[in-house]
Amino acid sequence: MSSKLIVNTIRHTGASSDAVTLASDGTCTANLTNKPNRNLIINGDFSVDQRNSGSEVNPAVNGTFSLDRWKNTCNSAGKYKIQQVSDSPDGFYKSLKVTSLSALSVGSGEFQHIDHNIEGLNMNHLNFGSSAAKTITLSFFVKASITGTFPVAFRNNAYNRTNVNTYTISSANTWEKKTITITGDTSGTWLQTNGKGMRIAFALAGGSDYDVSSLSTWIGSNDFTHSSCTDLLATNGATLQLAGVQLELGSVATDFEHRSFGQELALCMRYYETHNSLATAKSTDGSITSYWSTVTSNDSNTLVIPTGIIYKVPKRASPTVTIYNPGNTATAARVSAQGTERTVTATYGGANALTRIYVSGASAGNYVTYNWEASAEL
């Protein structure tokens, strides 16, 4: 014996809108929260590390990229190291780990933070900078060796709009999930092009010059921390780990959107790609992974290596291409021609391909080996 439940809509008693609406023709529409492609963070699970393959990175003063899409911004070098590690919360297999290398004396102008930059084309639907600006929610897992209050800042590309929020580490060395919801910014200029639309900064240390006057509100400044916040780098050996970082439309933190590794790698490659995605551009196993070409022509008194390299993923913009000699990857702009190192004078290509490499000192007919990387990072 069968039974029927005949209704027009389904709604939770505490909800303000219907979850499911049923039509007279037997079809229905649903208000789904776990929609695909909702996470605006690329490599939020920290599974992709094309540059370093899990090796430690000591950030340079002007900022270096560690794991794909994650940039280290600092005004003094050697204060911490960063690495992809396997220690992670349930449901994940990688995390980003920061380790303080000294007890940093935080001056008023000090800034040390990890940034994720979102391309403007990916956040057009948020309508930031207009009266229709949407609410967004950031969620992430965090683990730190010290307890305290730490800041996260949302900023625009013009460096004149910021919203600083805080989260609290309640228990040391324990994975905790944090959620931050902010209203959209109705003011300021927010790029909707292939430039830097939004900058999210997880601060590790910040001087008083960058303290906001008010938390959880949009103000016209470039500040990223608050006087109530803990400076992780002020403690020698202190660690902080992030996993499962997600930014999405709305006021609800949904379950983390797990994309396949291939999908995540392809998203990362819009901004950075190497000659071999399974080895860094500075790998020395040239006989296995490097490119081979022959010097075939002379253009304006400089020998030309035609490459015919089509990028696996078109880049955000025409990338900066760096060439390495597989036998000596410590120095950039080098190739190996018949076993002799030669200098690269220029490269030519665009967002889709690397077509030519110009070298000096080689001869027509020489076979050449080289590694390459193409960066169109924000």
SS3 355: strand
> Is pLDDT of 3 > 60?
yes
44 is a domain residue: no
Q: How many CA atoms lie within 13 A of 357 on its CB side?
A: 33
164 is a domain residue: yes
Residues 214 and 339 placed together within one structural domain of the fold: no
Q: Tell how many helices (H) and how many strands (E) occur in the chain.
A: 2, 24
Phi first, then psi: what are they for 301, rounded to 5°?
Answer: 70, 15
From 239, 269, 299, give the residue that closes a domain: 269
298 is a domain residue: yes
> Is pLDDT of 286 > 70?
no
> Is pLDDT of 1 > 60?
no
CB atoms closer than 10 angstroms to residue 250: 14
Residues 200 and 305 placed together within one structural domain of the fold: no
Residues 296 and 322 placed together within one structural domain of the fold: yes
On average, the pLDDT of the chain sits at 90
Residues 281 and 248 placed together within one structural domain of the fold: no
Residues 193 and 245 placed together within one structural domain of the fold: yes
26 is a domain residue: no
> Is pLDDT of 153 > 90?
yes
215 is a domain residue: yes
Cα-only R_g, the chain: 24
311 is a domain residue: yes
Per-residue pLDDT averaged across 100-127, rounded?
97
From 269, 287, 309, give the residue that closes a domain: 269
What does the alpha-carbon distance between residue 376 and residue 152 come to, in Å, rounded to a whole number? 25
Residues 243 and 140 placed together within one structural domain of the fold: yes
Q: What pLDDT is attached to residue 38?
A: 96
Residues 234 and 365 placed together within one structural domain of the fold: no
> Is pLDDT of 278 > 90?
no
Q: Comparing 210 with 23, which gets the higher pLDDT?
A: 210
> Is pLDDT of 287 > 50?
no
Query: In which band, very low, low, confident or very high, does the pLDDT at 283 lie, cut at 50, 70 and 90?
Result: low
Residues 235 and 315 placed together within one structural domain of the fold: no
In sequence order, what are the residues at sequence separation of 6 or more whose Cβ sits closer than 8 angstroms to the Cβ of residue 68?
42, 43, 48, 49, 50, 51, 268, 271, 272
Whether this model's pTM surpasses 0.85: yes
What does the alpha-carbon distance between residue 22 and residue 10 come to, in Å, rounded to a whole number? 8
Chain centroid offset of residue 369 CA: 30
CB atoms closer than 10 angstroms to residue 221: 16
Q: What is the DSSP string of 258-302?
A: ---HHHHHHHHHTTEEES-TTS-TT---HHHH-EEEE--EEETTE
- 326: containing domain: 273-375
Ramachandran class of 11: left when φ > 0, alpha when ψ lies in -120 to 50, beta otherwise: beta
Per-residue pLDDT averaged across 111-136, rounded?
98
* Number of structural domains the chain divides into: 2
Residues 306 and 228 placed together within one structural domain of the fold: no
Residues 227 and 137 placed together within one structural domain of the fold: yes
Residues 124 and 167 placed together within one structural domain of the fold: yes
Query: Taking a C-beta distance cutoff of 8 angstroms, is the pair 373, 312 a contact?
Result: no
Q: What is the pLDDT of residues 219-272, one digit of tens each?
A: 999 999 999 999 999 999 999 999 999 999 999 999 999 999 999 999 999 999
From 269, 286, 301, give the residue that closes a domain: 269
- CATH classification at residue 129: 2.60.120.260
322 is a domain residue: yes
278 is a domain residue: yes
Question: What is the share, in percent, of the chain residues with pLDDT greater than 70?
Answer: 88
CA angle (264 as vertex; 261, 266 as ends), nearest 5 = 110
In sequence order, what are the residues at sequence separation of 6 or more whose Cβ sits closer than 8 angstroms to the Cβ of residue 230?
146, 148, 149, 150
Residues 203 and 340 placed together within one structural domain of the fold: no
